């Protein structure tokens, strides 16, 4: 019990120090030796914009943090080695001392957090040499995604985060998606089914999801058990009581209701009872078309039969864009039992080399959908392949590249995604110069 308490405190400490440690270190990309690569351009661009957008006092704070950062960096390295080092030593035989010496020059010289050393498996020498080619979270989600939005700042905003409005856009443009039956907002039940005036839930399995949620957090699955009642495996409630329950919860955060759809029959042995989805990253190319650069297939494991998300302990396998076949699967890489799987650890179904059904249709749906959300230069789509067609689950305007690069086992900075990001960043610079 005492150990668990200290472990929780340790994790919180790492998270707090991570936030304090990241921003000032991004200034050090200025000192990278220029090599003309796309990744180098992105690193330098993020550093330039970070400094340029700060006022004099904020710049002074950054400089102070820069001075303190080496001391903080050493502490974070030690904490990360305490958490993950022994696992790596057992797995690949690299001593704790060598892991420490690997990380010190990166964490003290460049904007590099120790967690990436373990997520991207940089303890392997062949991957360590490529560390500068990775695109890091602080410069994408917290940086260049925001700058890229300004290219289309004069066009109407499209909604990706708000699932209700996202559903409306999909419905209006006849995009195959999971419909929303109803929503709960500030204690009110809102029936969104235009063909029904009955204020009751449909007679099917349901998912209740936070309207502004992400990462699979807060999702509840309620299965229809007949006679107007629903079960979440711990209790059974009639529709009226279930509606009242979420009316109360909606005072804290809004919810919406969707039907539970089932994955394609050829993928059931990989789904582990949940809805396995594909994260597909698409981006506008140089000619105004939409190009798919990465895709991963996500799967639930263990006792989780609700969501397939990485943050819920799931695993994912890279998808070959050309063929739709799966590679090796793994989790985020920070767990004691992290490893690469050829077969599903729970269902024991084969993963490596599996062909995704309806893959061509999936790619076509993504490109068609992006054309209706063209204000967004880059989108991470969650697609479910059902029995007869792929459907859109949601879209993310700030796709996480940590997962893409971890599962793909290679950096994205100098691949097609990095090249297109550079193309759009140069457009951004041109627009800024004109203004």
**pLDDT score recorded for residue 434:** 66
Per the structure block, which two tokens stand in for 409? 């086992």
Q: Are 170 and 177 in contact (CB under 8 A)?
A: yes
Q: Are 205 and 242 in contact (CB under 8 A)?
A: no
**pLDDT score recorded for residue 155:** 60
Burial grade of 56 (CB within 10 A; 0-12, 13-18, 19 or more): exposed
Q: What is the DSSP string of 137-165?
A: HHHIIIIIHHHHHGGGTTSPP--SSSHHH
For residue 123, what are the contacts with CB-CB under 8 A and spacing of at least 6? 88, 92, 94, 99, 102, 117
Q: Are 83 and 97 in contact (CB under 8 A)?
A: no
Kindly report the number of other CB atoms within 10 A of residue 227's CB atom. 9
**pLDDT score recorded for residue 199:** 56
Q: Could you give the angle at which helices 38-52 and 56-80 cross, rounded to 10 degrees?
A: 130
- Please tell me the distance from the alpha carbon of residue 139 to that of residue 14, in angstroms, as a whole number: 19
**pLDDT score recorded for residue 269:** 92
**pLDDT score recorded for residue 69:** 73
Start-to-end Cα distance in the chain: 59
**pLDDT score recorded for residue 1:** 44
**pLDDT score recorded for residue 24:** 44
- Please tell me the distance from the alpha carbon of residue 269 to that of residue 163, in angstroms, as a whole number: 29
Q: Could you give the strand order of the β-sheet that contains 229-231, starting from the edge strand earlier in sequence?
A: 188-191, 182-185, 255-259, 206-210, 220-226, 229-231, 236-238
**pLDDT score recorded for residue 193:** 66
- Please tell me the distance from the alpha carbon of residue 27 to that of residue 47, in angstroms, as a whole number: 5
Task: Point out which residues pair with 117 in neighbouring strands.
Answer: none
| CA-wise closest residue to 26 among 7, 10, 45 | 45
Please give the average pLDDT of every successive group of 10 residues along the chain, which has 435 residues: 54 55 57 79 85 79 76 84 88 91 81 84 91 88 82 66 83 90 84 59 85 69 87 86 87 86 91 90 93 95 70 86 96 84 94 96 95 86 93 90 94 94 88 69
Q: Which H or E run includes 280?
A: strand 278-284
Kindly report the number of other CB atoms within 10 A of residue 398's CB atom. 19
pLDDT, one tens digit per residue, over 270-321 is 988 888 999 999 999 999 899 999 999 999 888 765 666 676 678 999 999 9
What is the b/e burial string over 96-118, where b = at least 16 CB atoms within 10 angstroms of the residue's CB?
eeebbebbeebbbebbbbbbbbb
Q: Are 160 and 376 in contact (CB under 8 A)?
A: yes
């Amino acid at each position: 019990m005492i150990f668990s308490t200290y472990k929780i405190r340790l994790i919180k400490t790492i998270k707090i120090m991570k936030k304090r440690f990241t921003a000032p270190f991004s200034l050090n990309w200025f000192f990278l030796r220029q090599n003309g690569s796309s990744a180098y351009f992105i690193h330098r661009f993020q550093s330039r914009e970070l400094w340029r957008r700060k006022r004099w006092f904020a710049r002074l704070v950054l400089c102070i943090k820069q001075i303190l950062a080496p001391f903080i960096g050493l502490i974070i390295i030690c904490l990360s080695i305490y958490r993950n080092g022994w696992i790596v030593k057992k797995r690949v035989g690299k001593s704790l001392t060598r892991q420490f010496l690997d990380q010190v020059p990166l964490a003290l010289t460049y904007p590099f957090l120790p967690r990436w050393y373990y997520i991207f498996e940089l303890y392997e020498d062949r991957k360590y040499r490529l560390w500068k080619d990775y695109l890091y979270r602080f410069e994408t989600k917290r940086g260049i995604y925001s700058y890229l939005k300004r290219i289309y700042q004069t066009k109407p905003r499209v909604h990706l985060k708000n699932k209700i409005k996202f559903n409306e856009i999909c419905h209006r443009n006849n995009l195959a998606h999971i419909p929303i039956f109803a929503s709960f907002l500030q204690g009110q039940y809102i029936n969104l089914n235009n063909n029904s005036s009955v204020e009751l839930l449909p007679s099917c399995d349901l998912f209740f999801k936070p309207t502004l949620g992400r990462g699979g957090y807060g999702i509840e699955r309620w299965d229809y058990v007949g006679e107007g009642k629903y079960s979440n495996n711990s209790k059974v409630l009639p529709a009226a009581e279930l509606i009242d329950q979420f009316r109360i919860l909606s005072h804290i955060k809004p919810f919406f209701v969707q039907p539970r759809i089932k994955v394609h029959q050829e993928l059931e042995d990989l789904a582990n009872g949940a809805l396995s989805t594909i994260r597909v990253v698409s981006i506008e190319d140089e000619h105004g078309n939409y190009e798919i650069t990465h895709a991963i297939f996500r799967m639930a494991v263990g006792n989780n039969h609700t969501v397939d998300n990485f943050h819920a302990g799931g695993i994912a396998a890279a998808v070959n864009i050309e063929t739709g076949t799966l590679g090796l699967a793994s989790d985020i890489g920070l767990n004691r039992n992290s490893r690469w799987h050829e077969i599903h650890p729970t269902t024991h179904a084969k993963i490596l080399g599996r062909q995704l059904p309806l893959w061509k249709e999936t790619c076509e749906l993504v490109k068609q959908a992006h054309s209706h959300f063209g204000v967004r230069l880059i989108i991470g789509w969650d697609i479910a392949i059902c029995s007869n067609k792929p459907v859109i689950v949601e879209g993310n305007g700030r796709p996480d590249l940590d997962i893409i690069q971890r599962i793909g086992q290679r950096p994205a900075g100098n691949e097609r995604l990095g090249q297109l990001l550079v193309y759009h960043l140069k457009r951004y610079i041109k627009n800024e110069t004109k203004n």
